[in-house]
Structure 1
Amino acid sequence: MAELLFKMGRWSFRRKWVVLATWLIILGAVAGAAVGFSKPFSSQFSIGNAPSIEATKLMMENFPDAGNPADAATVNLVFASTDGSRLDEEHNKEAIDDVIHAVEDSLSDEIRNTQRFGNPVVLSPQLTQGVYDMSVEQGLPEATAREDAENLALVSDDGRIAYTTFDFDVDSAMKVSDEQRQAVYDAMELGRDQGLQVEAGGAGFGDPIAIKATSEVVGLAVAFVVLLLTFGSLIAAGLPLITAVIGVGIGVLSILLTTAVVELNDVTPTLAIMIGLAVGIDYALFILSRYRVERERMPAPDAAGMAVGTAGSAVVFAAATVIIALAALVVAGIEFLSWMGLLAALTVAVAMLVALTLVPALLGIFGERAFGARIPGVAGNKKRDGSWPKRFRKGMTMGRRWVTLVQKIPAVMLAAVILGLGVLSLPVTRLEMALPSDTTSNVDTTQRKAADLMAEGFGAGVNAPLLFVVDAHAVDPDAPALRPFVEAQRQGAEAEAAEADPANAEGAGGADNAAAEPFDEHKAAAQAAYIYTVDKIDGMAEIKNAQLVGMNDDATAAQVMITPYTGPEEQETVDVSHALRDRAAEIEAATGATVGMTGLTAVQMDITEELGNAMPLYLAIVVGLAIVLLLLVFRSIMVPVVAGLGFLLSVGAAFGVTVLFWQEGLWGLVSSPGPLISFMPIFLIGVTFGLAMDYQMFLVSRMREHYTHNGGRAREGSRYNGVEESVIEGFSAGARVVTAAALIMIAVFVAFIDQPLPFIQIFGFALGAGVLFDAFFIRMTLVPATMFLMGRATWWIPRWLDRILPSLDVEGSKLEKDFEAGLIGRDLRGESGETGESEDASIDDAAQRPRRAAAHRRR
């Protein structure tokens, strides 16, 4: 593979304009197609075959006009007095009227399900009285009827908080337009101007995904500074940014084009940008850094080929680990997560191809100016007075100082890393997960304020309603559990018949009347199943209220609304949902009816649990993948094992600090602490794993390169053994560029903390923490420390395994030998391409190769 990449890099250098034009044409073509065919993203998180989804299908079969309860564009308008007065006072009542009338005037033909829409001060007593009267008529005890009515009240007991609700007349919440949202905002301002607090929430009033361009700008700016310090050249610092932007542009535009055939969640492009930008810059950085080293000993086209053949080989395998880790998200069996992983993997693949071809092409375009515009005294450049910086005169870079310190006290370093990251991992045991909702929004958003007001006025459970759908088509009229209810209905029907025709009821005519209008036992059993369901649920200690809220036209199915005591983000609500599912199974067994639990809260909890259940399997896959890939690349047993265990430590610490700050609000640095977004942990595992293997590949490949080139022996006069010397020399050669790569990734990820949406902020923080821990604590401390302690066992592999494993030559050992022997590279006929070098120069370069190669190995 190294030889193939060498040829590709050399060809790209020489055919620079063709390569550049090709990528620009691809970028333009994908952009044009995306503009022409892309569709809107979805803000919903859905999962197939979950119990709540099956219940949703049951609901829609029996109530076709009700729509999808998990995707309804519901809006809750919440009112609260700011001075402690009651809302039924005239001035507050008039202010609410103004808001309601403004919504009606601007959205009269665009809203539906308005049974509970109006001035809640006026509407609430009417609704509660109607529910009470209907319940009493149905034979419910007065206490139960009153409890059901009060549970549907729109005004709090103290009269200070009230709400009203409606749905936008659209297919789903994602179809709500900006104009419709603005109409609600304008109406809210009328109430606010009169002294009321007016907030809005609900699935139909979520803010669309808004990405601040400042995150990308900040990330690129910091990356430029790091690259400038790495290369000491303005031009070289800009090249990785150019290639990364082109690669990410193609990747994200491809995602937009994919929406033409697949419904994608609106988080998908944001994550692709974060990951693609970070790896795109890093891959270009590694190749560019290697090119600078190789250019000292060979012509520019060959240096470009060698850089792509060596560093590019590591890029390919590093990218492969990221791609496989992201693509492996399909094992979770969750559609939106699968597409998120696959399309992020596509962006990484594009970034890799751009780095392998466009970086050498740009080097060909800039030629000797590729490292021009140098900054004096930076990155090894001479100072303005012509002298070298002190650290370069002594030959002791920061990387060499660090690795020699680790070599002196490896056991201490190893213990410090394990204990430190182990302690930081402890908060993972308190991890809580949820999907984005009003209750997890930032505290300064109207959605969060609306949810908090409703919880204050009506209890936290008002934000977490659950819906039972009871399908009684197959109900068993002879079920013992239903017989008392059926017989009660039979007696009631007979009593009504007797009251309607007393004369006929005195004699045998009663039987004639019953024959004329026979008692429908199946319908009675269905009614009994509904009553039985409510009775079994309402008696649960965790449930605040359960009540029948609707039946279909032929009374073969019913809806039961369940209000828990706790909110949607609380673990107690999850526990309640499990208890309700158990109770549903009992009801089905006792009645023969089919019972399912649906609603937005139930769907979100199912997704969260599916993601949690998928994590152990996914973690096993990625760690196993790491061991296999590294075994192939480094032909060692211990290197992959150490790498895999180190990854577990770094990802555990990243989880831990994320829980501490974003879930538990450590030091008050996060204004809205709460459960972490459900798919963040599994996605963090995949991305952190891929990036960890990046650093493992680039650092350890340089160590392996030194070890194999010297036959596992130390150089003459060295005070280190062969393994120690290879670790020190390889680390010193790669530490600077790996440090730069890690800092760039951290900067890109952390810049997204400035985004307005909490889950994007959390992703940026968690990924930044993951890179920090893995790059600096694991790859640059724990890995060399364990190598020093293991000695020659570091590179041990059973002979039988060594024989059957394919030779990948990631470190380019065979490529180097072929190049030194003149078997590959510039021929002696002056094939100078467009560099302007003469045939004599070519022959001279060929003659100097062995000497330069020897000098290169000494470095």
Structure 2
Amino acid sequence: MARVLYTVGRWSFLHAWWVLSTWVVILLTVAGLALGLHKPLSSQFSVSGTPSINATKMLVEQFPNQENPVTASSVTVVFEAPEGHTLSEPETHAAVDRTIDALRTGLGDSITDTQRFGNPVDVDQRLTGQIHSMYGSFGLPEETANEDAQTVRTLSDDGRIGYTSFSIDAGDSMVVTKDQRAIINDAMDQARDAGVRVEAAGSGFGEEIAIEPMSEIIGLAVAFLVLLFTFGSLVASGLPIITAVIGVGIGVLAILLTTAYVDLNNVTPTLSIMIGLAVGIDYSLFVLSRYRSERENHPDDVAAGLAVGTAGSAVVFAGVTVIVALAALSVAGIGFLTAMGLLAALTVLITVLVTLTLTPALLGLCGKKAFAGKVPGVAGNPWRRCRRHTPRRTLGSLWVRGVHRVPGLAIGVVILALGALSLPLFHLQMALPSDATANHGTTQREAADLMAEGFGPGVNAPLLLVVDAAHANPDSPALAPYVNAQRAKAESEGTEFDAQKAATLSSFLYTVDSIDGMSTVKNAQLTGVNEGQTAAQILITPYTGPGDPATVDLSDSLRARTHEIEDAAGIRVGMTGLTAVQMDITEELAAAMPVYLSIVVGLAIVLLILVFRSITVPIVAGLGFLLSVGAAFGATILFWQDGLWGIVGTPGPLVSFMPIFLIGVTFGLAMDYQVFLVTRMREHWIHSGGQASGRTNYNAVEESVIFGFTLGARVVTAAAIIMIAVFVAFIGQPLPFIKVFGFALGAGVLFDAFFIRMTLVPAAMFLLGRSTWWMPRWLDRILPRLDVEGSALGDDPEPEYPRLDDADAPTVPA
């Protein structure tokens, strides 16, 4: 591989304009196709094959004239009368009417599902009246009618809070258009002008999808400064930025083009930008750093080839590791997560290709000025007045020698520190985004809070049961009381008694009574029967909101109870609704996380065995990854879930797919640093033949670790700081998931790069001694060889490794 990459790098350097022109043409072509064919992104998350999705299919089959409650673009508008007033008063009633009229006029025929659409005061009277009328016809007690009427109310008990809801025919996008959103906002202003507070929420009125460019600008600006301190050159500092922007640009435009064929979630392109920028800059940084060292002893074109053949080999392996980790997200079997992983992996693949070709091409275009624009006093550049520059011992050298003196203490501190940070994992809470978890200050969160205040938290977490009773068992003992009551009524009225129809109706009532008797259910009521009277819908209102763990427990209890009902009555029962779908997704993700973690850790060990021809190095790397990702989780939970120190304004459960995605991305990045740092150590070990140089008091293993670390520490530190800056900059994005994910990734890189790769790994290697590079001979023979160190280019002079002062070196037998 090293020789192939050497050829690619040297050819790209010599044919710079061809390479640059090719990438520009690709960028413009993809841009043109994407801008012409892309469709809106969605804020919806769905999983096929879950119980709630199967129940949704049953609902659509039994109620073909009703909208799918999961995919409907529903909108809820909530009104609150001024303090000391009610919505029933003539002035406020008229103000609300103006908003309703503006909605009806502006949206016209696009309004669907109008059962609760209208002035909340009028709708409340109509719905409660229908409940009493229907229950009277069924012969049900007045107490039951009053209880169920209370649940369907659109006006609070004190008359101050009311709501109206409807759906919008928004096509495939499942969100309202900008024009429709403007109509809704203008309509709400009609009531606001009269002093009525108005907020809006619903699946069709989520927060507007917006990508703040300031995050990318901040990330790139910090990256440029770090590169400037790394290379001390204005020109060199700009080259990795250019390659990363082109690579990410092509990747993100390809994602937008994909929306023409596949529905994608709104976080997908932002994740790809975040990950693509970070790895794109870092990969180019590694190649550029190696080119600078190689050109001291070789012509520029050869140096470019050697840089791509050596550092580029590590880039390929690191990139493949990230790609595999992201693509492996598909093992969870969750559609939107698979799309996120595969498209982020596509962006990483493109950045790898751009790095290996465009970086040497830009070096070819720059020629002798690749490191021009030197900044005095930066990165070892002398001040102009200084005639002589005396090399100083680097911080990397000082650090690794300090770790060498106390390796056991270093390992202990890392394990205790990161282990302590991992403790919050034991109370991790996960949920999908909803109005109730939106940022404080947004109209979505304000609407959800008003609904909870006026009607209880459970109004934001309704569950819907679908009952298919076409084959209900007339002889069921559980249905006997209900069937006998209908038989007695038919006999008293002298009408014909149909046992099957009686069993069907009885199964509806039996299901309601069975669910309504559960202590955690506020109310369960029959809300609709299909035309053939063979299926029914039962609305369940819990006491708790969508983010409360008690609601998740209720969902599990309901599933168990519905199985009992099915067996007892001979019917089919499914639970659906947006709340149920979201909880199913959360459970699916939680179940997939251990499997995925096992896959990526196992993958890490296998790949690192192939690369480093060692057993212990991969095991240490894998265990270190678990520590760093655990600490990243813990820190994220402390701030974003628990609200530590009040820094996060809207703490709450973490987005359900954040943990599994964090594992995948952090794993890929962790292996990046492992490869780039340990490759230098392995390179020294191979060139030395496993023998000490005799120039120091270190043994051969210690020399390989210290010298390799000294060479790689500066560039790895720069790469880590760049990644952290890019990720942290995305905390400023409006999408809550991106905020949390940016923080979590930044924490993950911080812990893994500085605590694990630059402390625990070298400390463990010092303690392991020659066992560090041990591998059974039989395994060494059968495994394929991956030349990440560029051994195939061994005809070139041995690198000149930095010397240590013998007086400072510890007295260790050679």
Q: Which amino acid aligns with 1:414?
A: I
Return the alpha-carbon distance in structure 2 between the equivalents of residues 427 and 388 of structure 1.
54
Q: Is the 8 A contact 1:297 1:856 kept in 2?
A: no
1:60 to 2:57 alignment: no
Return the alpha-carbon distance in structure 2 between the equivalents of residues 794 and 735 of structure 1.
19
Quote the offset at 1:461 in angstroms.
Answer: 0.3
Q: Is the 8 A contact 2:707 2:802 kept in 1?
A: no
Q: Is the 8 A contact 2:322 2:669 kept in 1?
A: yes
Unaligned residue ranges in structure 2 (runs of 5+): 805-814
1:274-673 aligned at under 5 Å gives the runs: 274-387=274-387, 393-497=390-494, 518-673=496-651
Quote the offset at 1:254 in angstroms.
Answer: 1.1
Aligned residue in 1 for 2:205: 205
Q: Is the 8 A contact 1:173 1:204 kept in 2?
A: no
Return the alpha-carbon distance in structure 1 between the equivalents of residues 701 and 42 of structure 2.
54
The Cα offsets for residues 515-540 of structure 1, whole Å up to 9 and x where unpaired, read as: xxx43222211111100100100000
1:715 to 2:693 alignment: yes
Quote the offset at 1:854 in angstroms.
Answer: 6.1
Aligned residue in 2 for 1:785: 763
Quote the offset at 1:483 in angstroms.
Answer: 2.2
1:811 to 2:789 alignment: yes
Quote the offset at 1:490 in angstroms.
Answer: 2.1
Q: Which amino acid aligns with 1:425?
A: S
Quote the offset at 1:856 in angstroms.
Answer: 6.1
Return the alpha-carbon distance in structure 1 between the equivalents of residues 648 and 196 of structure 2.
28
Quote the offset at 1:126 in angstroms.
Answer: 2.9
Instruction: Between 39-48 and 270-279, report the one with greater CA deviation.
Output: 39-48
Q: Which amino acid aligns with 1:456?
A: E
Aligned residue in 2 for 1:847: none
Return the alpha-carbon distance in structure 2 between the equivalents of residues 403 and 336 of structure 1.
43
Q: Which amino acid aligns with 2:486?
A: Q
Quote the offset at 1:472 in angstroms.
Answer: 1.1
Decide whether aligned partners of structure 1 residues 563 and 387 sit closer, same or farther in structure 2, where only a CA change above 3 A counts. farther
Decide whether aligned partners of structure 1 residues 84 and 670 sit closer, same or farther in structure 2, where only a CA change above 3 A counts. farther
SS of match in other structure, 1:554 = coil
The Cα offsets for residues 110-132 of structure 1, whole Å up to 9 and x where unpaired, read as: 21222212111233123212212
Return the alpha-carbon distance in structure 1 between the equivalents of residues 489 and 799 of structure 2.
104
Instruction: Between 191-200 and 426-435, report the one with greater CA deviation.
Output: 191-200
Return the alpha-carbon distance in structure 1 between the equivalents of residues 485 and 800 of structure 2.
100
Return the alpha-carbon distance in structure 2 between the equivalents of residues 95 and 577 of structure 1.
39
Quote the offset at 1:272 in angstroms.
Answer: 0.6
1:671-820 aligned at under 5 Å gives the runs: 671-815=649-793, 817-818=794-795, 820=796
Aligned residue in 2 for 1:234: 234
Q: Which amino acid aligns with 1:755?
A: Q
SS of match in other structure, 1:536 = helix
Decide whether aligned partners of structure 1 residues 461 and 744 sit closer, same or farther in structure 2, where only a CA change above 3 A counts. same
Q: Is the 8 A contact 1:380 1:388 kept in 2?
A: no
Quote the offset at 1:716 in angstroms.
Answer: 2.0
Q: Is the 8 A contact 2:175 2:205 kept in 1?
A: no
Return the alpha-carbon distance in structure 2 between the equivalents of residues 531 and 646 of structure 1.
57
Return the alpha-carbon distance in structure 1 between the equivalents of residues 465 and 84 of structure 2.
37
CA RMSD, Structure 1 to Structure 2 (Å): 1.4
Aligned residue in 2 for 1:829: none
The Cα offsets for residues 354-401 of structure 1, whole Å up to 9 and x where unpaired, read as: 000100011001000010011011111121213466xxx253111111
Q: Is the 8 A contact 2:723 2:749 kept in 1?
A: yes
Quote the offset at 1:74 in angstroms.
Answer: 1.3
Q: Is the 8 A contact 1:71 1:172 kept in 2?
A: no
SS of match in other structure, 1:211 = coil
Return the alpha-carbon distance in structure 1 between the equivalents of residues 6 and 169 of structure 2.
60
Quote the offset at 1:857 in angstroms.
Answer: 8.1
Return the alpha-carbon distance in structure 1 between the equivalents of residues 732 and 802 of structure 2.
45
Structure exhibiting the larger radius of gyration computed from Cα positions = 1
The Cα offsets for residues 26-69 of structure 1, whole Å up to 9 and x where unpaired, read as: 11111122123222222211101100000000000000111211
Q: Which amino acid aligns with 2:110?
A: E
Quote the offset at 1:727 in angstroms.
Answer: 0.9
Quote the offset at 1:577 in angstroms.
Answer: 0.5
Q: Is the 8 A contact 2:41 2:173 kept in 1?
A: no
Quote the offset at 1:90 in angstroms.
Answer: 2.9
Instruction: Between 532-541 and 406-415, report the one with greater CA deviation.
Output: 406-415
Unaligned residue ranges in structure 1 (runs of 5+): 498-513, 821-849
Return the alpha-carbon distance in structure 2 between the equivalents of residues 854 and 788 of structure 1.
23
Quote the offset at 1:462 in angstroms.
Answer: 0.1
Q: Which amino acid aligns with 1:494?
A: E
The Cα offsets for residues 252-294 of structure 1, whole Å up to 9 and x where unpaired, read as: 1111121222222121111111101110000000000000000
- Normalising by structure 2, we get a TM-score of 0.97
Q: Which amino acid aligns with 1:420?
A: A
Give the number of equivalent residue pairs: 804
SS of match in other structure, 1:371 = coil
Q: Is the 8 A contact 1:76 1:201 kept in 2?
A: yes
Of all paired residues, the percent bearing the same amino acid is: 64
- Normalising by structure 1, we get a TM-score of 0.92
Q: Is the 8 A contact 2:175 2:203 kept in 1?
A: no
Quote the offset at 1:855 in angstroms.
Answer: 4.1
Q: Which amino acid aligns with 1:688?
A: T
